[in-house]
Structure 1
Amino acid sequence: MSAQDGAAPSPSDMVTLVITTSPTPSMPSTDLISDILASFKLHCPVLLLCRVIVVFDTYDRIGEFMRLKKGQITAEGARAVELYKANVKDLILNEWYPKAEDISQVFVQGRGLAEYGSPKIVENQIELSTLQTNDRRVTFIEPTGRLGFGLAVRSALRMVETPYVWVQQHDWPLARGIPLSSLVEVMQTSEAEGSVPVKYICLPAIRMLSYATSAHVVPFPALRALTAELKRDFPTSQPDATVPLTPLFFWHDKPHVASTAHYLARVFPSRLAIARGDFIEDSIGQRARMQMKEGNWVKWACWLYCPGDSKEVCLQHRHGRRWKGVEAEMQTRALYAEMRSGRSSPLPEP
Structure 2
Amino acid sequence: MATSLRDLVTVIVTTSAIPSNPSTSVLEDVLTSFSFVPGLNSCDTILTCDGYVLKSTEGESKFKSMRINEDELANYLEYQERARIVFRRHLGYEDAEAGSLHSSTSSTSTIRIGARLRAETTVVSNHPIDLASLCHTMNAHRDILHYIGFSSRKSLRRTQRPHPCLPPAPAQTFGPHVLSPLFFWYDKPHVGRTSQYRSFVYGHGRFQTGDFIEDTMGHAMLADLKHRGMSGHADYGTWTYVNQHMTHEPTLRHRSGRHFRETVFLRSSKKKGKQDVPRGMATGDSGHDGARCPLESGSSDDSADDE
Residues 301-338 of structure 1, C-alpha deviations (whole Å, 9 max, x = no match): 11100103531212222333343397556336657972
Please give the alpha-carbon distance, in whole angstroms, between the structure 2 residues aligned to 1:47 and 1:331.
36
Whether 2:248 is the aligned partner of 1:311: answer yes
Over 3 Å counting, the alpha-carbon distance change for 1:67 and 1:187 in structure 2 is same
Equivalent residue, structure 2, for 1:143: 101
Equivalent residue, structure 2, for 1:93: 88
Equivalent residue, structure 2, for 1:136: none
**Secondary structure at the counterpart of residue 54 of structure 1:** strand
Please give the alpha-carbon distance, in whole angstroms, between the structure 2 residues aligned to 1:202 and 1:208.
10
Equivalent residue, structure 1, for 2:19: 25
**Secondary structure at the counterpart of residue 330 of structure 1:** helix
Whether 2:247 is the aligned partner of 1:324: answer no
Whether 2:4 is the aligned partner of 1:47: answer no
Equivalent residues of 2:50, 2:100 under 8 A apart: yes
TM-fit CA distance, 1:26? 1.0
Please give the alpha-carbon distance, in whole angstroms, between the structure 2 residues aligned to 1:141 and 1:79.
17
Please give the alpha-carbon distance, in whole angstroms, between the structure 2 residues aligned to 1:54 and 1:15.
15
Over 3 Å counting, the alpha-carbon distance change for 1:259 and 1:21 in structure 2 is same
Over 3 Å counting, the alpha-carbon distance change for 1:309 and 1:317 in structure 2 is closer
Q: Pairwise mapping of residues 274-313 of structure 1 onto structure 2 (< 5 A)?
A: 274-293=207-226, 294=228, 295-307=231-243, 308-313=245-250
Equivalent residue, structure 2, for 1:234: 174
Equivalent residue, structure 1, for 2:68: 73
Equivalent residue, structure 2, for 1:186: 137
Please give the alpha-carbon distance, in whole angstroms, between the structure 2 residues aligned to 1:17 and 1:281.
19
Find 1:203's aligned residue among 150, 160, 164.
150
Find 2:54's aligned residue among 49, 61, 67.
61
Please give the alpha-carbon distance, in whole angstroms, between the structure 1 residues aligned to 2:62 and 2:269.
22
Q: Which amino acid aligns with 1:273?
A: R
Please give the alpha-carbon distance, in whole angstroms, between the structure 1 residues aligned to 2:135 and 2:31.
20
If the length of structure 2 is used for normalisation, what is the TM-score? 0.78
- Structure 1, unaligned stretches of length 5 or more? 2-6, 106-132, 134-138, 236-241, 341-350
Decide which moves more: 288-297 or 244-253: 288-297
Please give the alpha-carbon distance, in whole angstroms, between the structure 2 residues aligned to 1:296 and 1:201.
17
Question: Size of the alignment, in residue pairs?
Answer: 271
**Secondary structure at the counterpart of residue 10 of structure 2:** strand
Residues 234-272 of structure 1, C-alpha deviations (whole Å, 9 max, x = no match): 22xxxxxx21111111111111001011022221114x3
Residues 93-133 of structure 1, C-alpha deviations (whole Å, 9 max, x = no match): 11221xxxx72x3xxxxxxxxxxxxxxxxxxxxxxxxxxx4
Please give the alpha-carbon distance, in whole angstroms, between the structure 1 residues aligned to 2:19 and 2:269.
14
Please give the alpha-carbon distance, in whole angstroms, between the structure 1 residues aligned to 2:220 and 2:40.
31
Please give the alpha-carbon distance, in whole angstroms, between the structure 1 residues aligned to 2:263 and 2:162.
36
Equivalent residue, structure 2, for 1:260: 194
If the length of structure 1 is used for normalisation, what is the TM-score? 0.69
Over 3 Å counting, the alpha-carbon distance change for 1:332 and 1:17 in structure 2 is farther
**Secondary structure at the counterpart of residue 141 of structure 2:** helix
Please give the alpha-carbon distance, in whole angstroms, between the structure 1 residues aligned to 2:255 and 2:6.
27
- Which protein is bigger by CA-based radius of gyration? 1
Equivalent residue, structure 1, for 2:179: 245
TM-fit CA distance, 1:152? 2.6
Please give the alpha-carbon distance, in whole angstroms, between the structure 2 residues aligned to 1:332 and 1:302.
44
Equivalent residue, structure 2, for 1:339: 276
Please give the alpha-carbon distance, in whole angstroms, between the structure 2 residues aligned to 1:337 and 1:244.
48
The 4+ residue runs of structure 1 with deviation greater than 6 A are none
Equivalent residues of 1:19, 1:53 under 8 A apart: yes
**Secondary structure at the counterpart of residue 255 of structure 2:** coil
- Structure 2, unaligned stretches of length 5 or more? 278-307
Please give the alpha-carbon distance, in whole angstroms, between the structure 1 residues aligned to 2:91 and 2:222.
37
Equivalent residues of 2:138, 2:146 under 8 A apart: yes
TM-fit CA distance, 1:58? 2.7
CA root-mean-square deviation: 2.7
Please give the alpha-carbon distance, in whole angstroms, between the structure 2 residues aligned to 1:54 and 1:330.
30
